[in-house]
Amino acid sequence: MRSIVGDLLLLRLGDASDGPMNQRLYRAIREAILDGTLPGDTRLPATRDLAAELGIARNTVVHVYAQLQAEGYTRSRQGNGTFVTASVPDAYLATGRSRRHQGSGPSGPVLSERGAHIVDRVSASPYQWGAFMPGVPDVTEFPHRKFGRIFSALWRKPAPELLTYSYGGGLPALREVLAEHLGLTRSVDCDPEQIIITEGSHQAIDLATRMLGASGDIAWIENPGYWGARTVLRANGVRIEPQPVDEEGMLLPSAAEAISTPPKFIFVTPSHQYPLGTVMSLARRRQLLALARRWGSWIIEDDYDSEFRFSGRPISSLQGLEPDAPVIYLGTFSKTLYPGLRVGYLVLPKHLAAAFQAGHAELYREGHLMTHAALAAFISEGHYAAHIRRMRMLYGKRRAILVNLIERRLGPQWLHRDSSEAGLHLILNLPEDLDDNAVVDVARARGVLTRPLSRYYAGPEPARHGLLLGYACVPESQIARKFEILLDSLNEVARRGERA
Ligand SMILES: Cc1ncc(COP(=O)(O)O)c(C=O)c1O
């Protein structure tokens, strides 16, 4: 007979596409502790029993229990078993508690299967500001006075059209300046009518998936890849098939190779592979476009941070490479301005634009036109391009300081060499068997934020362990001090012998 804890974990383990069993079990127990499903003092089943209940090796359970204990989530009482620690630190519990309150009431879980699936494997972090949080620009450098002046001028006498419901994919003035900007800086080939302004990339992926996909369709995503795309596609019933990446980008079958069911969507980050940083080669881009045309697939090109390239020439978009390419291009202001703005955009093939505009209005009801108007003025007055230029210099300097520290204090082999000199983060390689989740937890307890590379992998391939280190949001004066804390955390985990 299965125990209640065994049943709960079975529900939360996910499947092989969620990674190796030891990571899935570790995550399932840790998240159940954090969201309060396994409260303090709960006794976990004996390792032999749990292994039998879940049909997995006992060693896997032993290893996971040891890791949870080392991180303070559980403790063992001599001869009595393993128990959830009575007091998990509050900071860890904060998000979990609110999740539990949304998810279940006194009569048990109320979430649908889809809802449970969405929150079972949460990747969005509650920690978003501080060294070395990846993917976060330096929001303190945003020229808020200039933006504020533009905004206040608009608010002095707001046009009624800017305050009512909107229709048509965002303010035309913003789509116009954006089409020009994207053409100049990213070789994106489009008219303003092909652009839809969204509330960031998640909404853009959601709209594209709903408008073009059906439940059961297949999506190829890069492995490792962006968790946000994976979450939104899966929430719409799309089956994920992770594809490995090499130094030229997503690995693709040759034209002669037979594919039983071709993908409906192919999600790629060609200008700066997320998170490894590779640039997709021209040959691979051509191959991808040819396969997508043959299969009738849609390429979703996520061009999230390509404005920040610190050496060499800018990389052109895939969208502009061939006329009528089957590409849906995504961009965002989250990295160039600030993530809280929640403004992104889609560039669609011409024949899809009208249907997507209607779908966007039906699904999400549009608004934020005052923000669109302020952004349009900010771009057309030259402030946007100037801000990007200034940030490029700043981030390039911060990156160089961090690279230098890594090479001096750890050695060049710790620096992931595929990562191009671009973007807002780099990858620190960890020795093969050092657990990146453990390092992240120890560093966070000491006030330094990073994200574990292994978390970005899906599928049965063993995940590589490493750390995503964001340098953009760390003032130069703090980089060395924060890096020392990170080194201490690495040493601490190595000393404890926590292995991946
Ligand atoms: C690969 C990738 N795409 C897109 C985004 C931006 O998403 P949004 O526009 O929703 O802020 C991010 C942010 O972290 C990202 O890492």
Q: Which two tokens stand for residue 435?
A: 């657990």
102, part of any domain: no
338 within ligand 1 shell (Cβ under 6 A) = no
| 60-118 confidence digits (pLDDT tens) | 888 888 778 777 788 877 677 888 887 665 445 434 444 444 444 555 568 998 898 88
Are 196 and 345 contacting, i.e. CB atoms less than 8 angstroms apart?
yes
Question: What's the confidence (pLDDT) of residue 99?
Answer: 46
Interval between CA 113 and ligand 1 midpoint (Å):
26
Within this chain, do residues 371 and 460 fall inside the same structural domain, yes or no?
no
Residues 412 and 492 both lie in one domain: yes
Least confident of 242-256, 267-281, 409-423: 409-423
Task: Domain count for the chain, please give it.
Answer: 3
At 194, which CATH number? 3.40.640.10
- With a 6 Å cutoff on the Cβ, whether 203 touches ligand 1 is no
Atom 12 in ligand 1: which residue has the minimum CA distance?
304
The reply to whether 393 and 248 lie within a common domain is no
Same domain, 399 and 358: no
Q: Is 483 in the pocket of ligand 1 (CB under 6 A)?
A: no
Per the structure, the complete domain to which residue 60 belongs is given by 4-94
Q: How much distance in Å is there from the Cα of 436 to the middle of ligand 1? A: 22
**Closest-lying ligand 1 atom to the alpha carbon of residue 269:** 1
Note whether 287 and 375 are same-domain residues: yes
Q: Do 119 and 83 belong to one domain? A: no
Report if residue 467 sits inside a domain: yes
Distance in angstroms (rounded) separating the CA atoms of residues 112 and 148: 43
Q: Is 271 in the pocket of ligand 1 (CB under 6 A)?
A: no
Residue 109 included in any domain: no
Q: Could you tell me the pTM of the whole model?
A: 0.80
272 CB near ligand 1 (under 6 Å):
no
Same domain as 404, residue 365: no
For atom 14 of ligand 1, the residue with the nearest CA is 135
Mean of per-residue pLDDT scores for the chain: 90
Q: Point out the domain boundary residue: 381, 398, 415.
A: 381
Edge-to-edge order in the sheet of strand 249-250: 195-198, 344-347, 327-332, 298-302, 265-268, 218-223, 239-246, 249-250
Ligand 1 atom nearest 226 alpha carbon: 1
Judged by DSSP in three states, 289 sits in: helix
Does the residue 153 lie in any domain? Answer: yes
Question: Residue 473 domain-assigned?
Answer: yes
- What distance in Å separates the CA atoms of residue 482 and residue 26, rounded to the nearest whole number? 28
Residues 275 and 376 in one domain: yes
CA of 305 to the centre of ligand 1 (A): 8
Ligand 1 midpoint to CA 318 (Å): 18
Q: How many CB atoms lie within 10 A of CB 234?
A: 20
pLDDT in tens, 432-454: 879 999 999 999 999 999 999 99
**How many CB atoms within 10 Å of residue 123?**
12
